[in-house]
Structure 1
Amino acid sequence: MIKKIAVVVLSLSIIFPAIADILKVKNNAPEQYVVKKGDTLWDISAIYLEQPWLWPKLWRFNPQIDNPHLIYPGDTLSLVYDADGRPMLVMNQKYKKLSPHGRKVMKKDGAIPTLPLELIRPYLTYEQALDEEYMAKQPYVLGGNDNVKNLITGHILYIKGNLVRSKYYGIYRKGEAYIDPKTDEPLAHEAILVGTARAFRNGDIDNGIPASVRVKNAKREIHAGDFLIPAMEGQSLPAFFSLTKPEKQVDGSIIASTTKLREFSKLDIVVLNLGKKDKLKAGHILDIRRQSPTVVDSGDGPKYLEDSSRFAKMAATAKDLFGSEPSADNTLWKMPKEKVGELMVFKVYNNLSYALVTGTLRPIRVGDVVSID
């Protein structure tokens, strides 16, 4: 682990469990596909499979694509089947010449990744969700060597707290609380990285001597009250994710997105009200589901609950509200939840987690629930 605080570039290779079942290829899957710039292995597999996280099974035992991470825009792939009827993607012989002694690959830049690392790299490195009590205990900025409120790169900061000389620190600002919709209680607060700094004086809080740091990089203006934590704290993350379904059913929901919007799409990053306490792990794949609207079937015919008359609503919900049986002419139909997308959990805290939306059937919204089949 490097000491210098820079963006940690992880090799986001994905390892999946062995699946005994034969893969089911989509009916409209093409016989050939030409790799385009911007494609990922996940994207290509999604063209062929309903479950794209099973992509290693599609590239298995393939002498022509012995390393699927080294395919490039312009390469042509063909869908074939082995003697047992199992599908495979192979490199088109017409476009790739193979030596009798092995595969020759010309050196190129831009091999396609498994997932778009650039999108989640900030969350795999320094962006965090922290407990309010924890944040309150950390060293914080008292001021700087200039009488200005907004401190930037090159400024010296004076810190209330004892720091380790020559150590790098992340400077954070307390952000919005992530609220659990079930309890209305805060699960954690967003910790916004505003800059990085290196300590050059330890400080002695017992004798009123501040620690000193020099700002190495400011993502935004640094203010008095912003707090510091060691640069690599909370950043012990796997370089490899084993993508699986959770062993037990989970019951949670999307409570926020990093875009601050209430509706979002594929490759957006969302926050779940599930974490380590729910046995959630990095690499877990979850379905995103949405509750279909409730219908009241009354003497006036079926109507959505919000469109029904006050009387029909009261009659249909009498059992829920008063314990009495609803009117035979006013029946409340609670519809099922339908799948609208999928996501991959990649960073887990005790009470919440970050996840990447990997596929959508409809735009995803705050409040959509997450579960497994």
Structure 2
Amino acid sequence: MKSQFAALILAAAAVFPAIADTLTVKPDAPKRYVVKKGDTLWDISSLYLNSPWKWPELWQQNPQINNPHLIYPGDILSLGVDEHGNPVLIIDKGVRKLSPSVRIIEAKGSAIPTLPLSLLEPYLSYDQALDEGDIAVFPIILGSNKNFKMSVTGHLLYVKGDLKRGGNYGIYRQGKPYKDGLRTLAYETMLVGTARALEPGDIADGVPSTVKVETVKREIKAGDFVMPLSQGQDHKANFKMSKPSQGVEGEIIASSNQHREFGPMSVVVLNVGSKQQLVEGNVLDIFRQSPTVVERDGTPKYIEDSSSLDKLIGDVGSWFGEGNSENSTVWHMPSEKVGELMLFKVYDNISYAMVMKTSQPIQVGDSVTN
């Protein structure tokens, strides 16, 4: 009987292979939506889908429009169905007859970004995450033309490196380490100012390069290092939203606001990156481990409220995957989903991500997975 039932399940799966992946539009999704300045692709996706990363399945690229993957303020989106009855969203613009074809009149202005650009710009344009080896190769500031501890706009700085005359440089400072346990994955790298090279210098002959400070974000000090402004910058604002196809297990190891808890639109740092085949635009779920319970003589208590002995049993049990004694049982509760985030800048071992949705405040230490 069991084998017959199993065969029936397999037959049903063969006949309806795509049922589990059917794209479902929200019941209250608008039939028509006019894109506004300030919208993001995530916002619009969330109007139509419970899973915004499935947007490419809903959005139908129109080959009559230049850059069909982009959406502009003023565009009119219309919800309909395709020839197979699947929900689709198409762009509904004014058309102008040009015999023998029809050309769409494209909206002017900047395409809407996938995520709020104003919040991402410092990370996309300037601040970075570099490992110690990368930082060590960049020339450092030796001092200034004035005996000041800190330099300001207009000061001349002397740099231990052969810079290109007229080149634009960012002045950076190594910040806090991003750690995964005891292992340092990278260092926060903060832009403190910008400068233009006046004299190239010749380090082999003991002559430093000379740069003039043009902007200051933070105080500039001897020991800060310089890097060409074009290096490491990425002004990309549009990402292809997707779930990673491979398994991912990571953790939030830092946040931009340094707070204990944070919510939507917060920038966080993960301990996974391109080595785990992650790319910009990947969407991951955020999970939190539910608190452990110790049941002693039939009475359950959270482990922090238990006796020292039960806490020890719980700790030892977590090491060995057990945690039970004659009178105590340790219950390791499951993890529960508490939010979603999207990666917008990916390095080898770490990634910057924006928290998009939460059911409760997110914390450093929460896990991420697909």
TM range (shorter): 0.7 to 0.9
Which stretch has the larger CA shift, 132-141 or 150-159?
Answer: 132-141
Query: What's the CA shift for 1:208?
Result: 2.1
Aligned residues: 347
Which residue is 2:6 aligned to? Answer: none
SS state at 1:44 partner: helix
CA contact (8 A) 1:33 1:77 kept: yes
- Alpha-carbon RMSD: 3.3
**Are residues 30 and 310 of structure 1, via their aligned partners in 2, closer, same or farther at CA, if it must alter by over 3 Å?**
farther
Shift of 1:90: 5.5
Measure how far apart 1:228 and its partner are.
Answer: 0.8
Residues 192-227 of structure 1 show CA distances to partners (whole Å, capped at 9, x for unaligned) of: 101111212121223221110112222222122211
Which one has a larger percent helix, Structure 1 or Structure 2? 2
Tell me the distance in 2 between the aligned counterparts of 1:194 and 1:70: 35
Counterparts of 1:1-373 in structure 2 under 5 Å?
21-30=21-30, 38-60=38-60, 69-72=70-73, 79-89=79-89, 112-181=112-181, 184-235=182-233, 241-314=239-312, 319-320=317-318, 326-327=324-325, 329-372=327-370
**Counterpart Cα distance in 2 of 1:139 and 1:62:** 49
Equivalent residue of 2:345, what SS? strand
Cα pair distance change 1:133/1:62, threshold 3 Å? closer
Task: Rate the CA distance shift 1:219–1:62 in 2: closer, same or farther, 3 A.
Answer: same
Question: TM-score, normalised to structure 1's length?
Answer: 0.79
Tell me if the contact between 2:32 and 2:77 (Cα under 8 Å) persists in the aligned partners: yes
Cα offset, 1:368, TM superposition:
0.9
The answer to which of 300-309 and 44-53 deviates more is 300-309
Which letter maps to 1:141? I
The offset of 1:270, in angstroms, is 1.1
The letter of the residue matching 1:85 is G
Whole-angstrom distance in 2 between the partners of 1:266 and 1:284 = 17
> Secondary structure of the residue that 1:134 maps to in structure 2?
helix
Contact 1:65/1:90, CA 8 A, preserved across alignment: no
Deviation by residue 1:22-66 (Cα, 9 ceiling, x = unmatched): 311234545565655532221121122122122233231669999
- The 8 Å contact of residues 65 and 91 in structure 1, kept in 2 or not, is answered as no
State how far apart, in whole Å, the 1-side matches of 2:321 and 2:180 are.
Answer: 29
Rounded to whole Å, the distance in 2 between the matches of 1:65 and 1:207 is 58
Distance 2:321 2:50 in 1: 44
How high is the sequence identity, in percent, across the aligned residues? 52
User: In 1, distance between residues paired with 2:161 and 2:108?
Assistant: 50
Letter in 2 for 1:138: F
In structure 2, what is the equivalent of residue 10 of structure 1?
none
In the alignment, structure 1 segments of 5+ residues that lack a partner are: 1-19
Displacement, 1:308?
Answer: 2.3
Structure 1 residue 295: Cα displacement: 1.6
The whole-number CA distance in structure 2 between the counterparts of 1:175 and 1:121 is 19
Q: Which runs of 5+ in 2 are unaligned?
A: 1-19
TM-score by length of 2: 0.80
> 2:12 — aligned with what?
none
The aligned amino acid for 2:132 is: E
Report deviation, 1:348.
2.1
